[in-house]
Structure 1
């Protein structure tokens, strides 16, 4: 989407396993015209590993970082956030966009925003929840006293914009 929307340069990353990266490349080949693909490079990146060639060459390079459905492994929140900060430009209008479903539970997602984000030097610029029909509601780290209905919970995503803490 970034390339289609006019980004000058796009880095698509995922866990550095050959089958995953080959699938990403094949998807780009099958779904984008050559002009759009020319702006995109696929890289393997393990969250929190900031001393490999990709991480060193692209530090503080991107004004937009998109993290989609990356919050389901709570034990990786700190590594994910460290990577976000590492790649995010120092520009005052640089942002990290996060979208995540609650399929593994709100209790796994909430600590990322409530604890990890401030610990790594980021802050929430905006955050809300949205369902598939486009209905929005306020972000809540807990609903229904923690007894949120699983079926209802899965209908919603959290959307957030993060920035470097000022």
Structure 2
């Protein structure tokens, strides 16, 4: 079974001439990034880091050698850093990581109270104004649903599904035969 990798940071531009880099963390606390023994970049290389002062860090390669020049640091700009999902800390009951929602079946409740599958959660987006779920429908169309208690009232991680209550209007992504249709409840 392939280990699931989670994007936790991105390497930015170099800082100074000695190999320091800016690192943009997507963790709740950026300082927690240095607690991971191994970060894997999108080229398959292994790294670790120590913060100088956030967002400036010293990067160490898989052999524990620091990046020691601006030129070497420039080659790392825009690399994404990942950790394995199993390296995350355990959570309290009824808590979960957003990454755990990806791949869950999205179900809607019909008038007769029966829940019907209509898609799979493909991505979780959080751009700062609120989290949303990108759901790939069985018809291969995509909808975006706000990740709120009103729109996603039930999450059953063990059973592998979430209940979706669609807002009155949802925009559907355009495709070959469908140019900007709108679905209504």
What is the TM-score when the length of structure 2 is the normalising length? 0.25
More strand by share: 2
By relative contact order (CA 8 Å, sep 6+), the higher-ranking structure is 1
What is the TM-score when the length of structure 1 is the normalising length? 0.27
**Greater C-alpha radius of gyration:** 2
